[in-house]
Amino acid sequence: MVAYHPPSGSSRERPLRIAMVVPPWLSVPPPGYGGLEQVVAGLVDALADRGHAVTLFGAGPHHGTRAGYVPTCPDLQYERLGESLPELAHLAHVDRLVGPDDFDLVHDHTTIGPLVAGRRAVPTVATVHGNPVGEYGTVLDNTDTGVGLVAISHAQRALNPGLPWVGTVHNALATGDVPRKDRPGRGPVLWLARFSPDKGPDLAIRACRAAGLPLLLAGKCNEPAEHRYYAQTVEPMLGEDVTVVLNADRDTALRLLVDARCLIMPLQWDEPFGMVILEAMATGTPVVALRRGAVPELVRPDVTGLLCDRPEELPGALRRADRLDPAECVAHVRENFSTAAMARGYEAVYRDYLRGPVALARPRPVPVPAR
């Protein structure tokens, strides 16, 4: 467990003992793709800065945060991503290790966690990282009554307003290691996402060709569905005007963002957040995107990016993107999406929830002793 630190924030209340639970797939922070893990890394350190005692429950031998660390299994489970048993086993271990003598609150970031949190003797808040509809919405509709859900955007929350939401806190980006430029990028337009029809790489290719601009597709492509989509849809569209980089690590992705003319996001779904938008703006790179999901909450129109209502508008926006000031993009992230602001938002959610009738009325099952 981790010791308390004197708080540097403004709160005068007793520091909280927080069990931070992440899925068992990736390390915190991740070496490459992994928006959830990147957000949690920034949150953990910012909560520690405010004096809270945070213990991170994950998988694998390594992590890079100021939290105490408890691995529930020795190896990361990324190769089994998509299976339910690794996450269930991970949560079962967490439930054995978390009790009211050591923790005031569990902050769960897993998919299944809200459904099984009733086993815990400690109140739980859970951040919803995906869209709360369809099968995931069904899981969340059956959330244990002792769990409060936190949305990462107003757009996400509006998709299923009847869920037991207890707050909305935007994700944030730790910008200390993010390089930035002081003049518009002269490189190609950059698309940076997983290869999925939801992310619109085919629309990016068409828009850049119509604009007469080169495109760099930097895509995550290591799951079967991503391989199929890339081979069947994207690869036949490639030409000399499109460069492909597969599975870039974080350092490579940041270099590509610094060099890029702009980031293109021709979304075909209601993105609940979009960490890559923050990363782009933090490097000074503007965003050209379709107006879907949380995008309007993140981009300041005509200052840090250009928002389009139809794919036909994208080529013109791409040609105008180099008129936007990189310094405005950087300042927007620092002023509105800092990890300190995210930690303050979550601290307010924690304290309100712990004072609320749901948490106070929650039955306290006897914790199963660790073996």
Per-residue pLDDT of the chain (371 residues; tens, 9 = 90+): 333 333 444 446 899 999 999 999 999 988 766 689 999 999 999 999 999 999 999 999 877 899 999 999 999 898 888 788 999 999 999 999 999 999 999 999 999 999 888 878 899 999 999 999 999 999 999 888 789 999 999 999 999 999 999 999 999 999 988 999 989 999 999 999 999 999 999 999 999 999 999 999 999 998 899 999 999 999 999 999 999 999 999 899 999 999 999 999 999 999 999 999 999 999 999 999 999 999 999 999 999 999 999 999 999 999 999 999 999 999 999 999 999 999 999 999 999 999 985 543 444 443 444 43
CA atoms of 109 and 111, how far apart (whole Å): 7
All structural domains of the chain with their residue ranges: 17-172+338-361, 189-334
Q: Of the candidates 25, 51, 73, which has an alpha carbon nearest to the alpha carbon of residue 40?
A: 25
Residue at 166: amino acid letter: V
| Distance from C-alpha of 269 to C-alpha of 289, rounded to nearest angstrom | 12
Q: In terms of DSSP bridges, do strands 215-220 and 189-194 run parallel, antiparallel, or are they unpaired?
A: parallel
Task: Judge whether 17-172+338-361 and 189-334 match in fold.
Answer: yes
Q: What is the 3-state secondary structure (H, E, C) of 232-298?
A: HHHHHHCCCCEEEEECCCHHHHHHHHHHCCCEEECCCCCCCCCHHHHHHHHCCCCEEEECCCCHHHH
Q: Which CATH superfamily is domain 17-172+338-361 in?
A: Glycogen Phosphorylase B; (3.40.50.2000)
Q: CA 152 to CA 129: how far, in whole Å? A: 7
Q: What Cα–Cα distance (Å) separates residue 237 from each residue in 98, 119, 201, 232?
A: 51, 50, 10, 10
Class of the domain covering 189-334: alpha beta
Q: What angle do CA 142, 34, 199 make, to 5 degrees?
A: 85
Half-sphere exposure of 138 (CA within 13 A, CB side): 2
Residues 6+ apart with CB under 8 A from 205: 215, 217, 234, 237, 238, 242
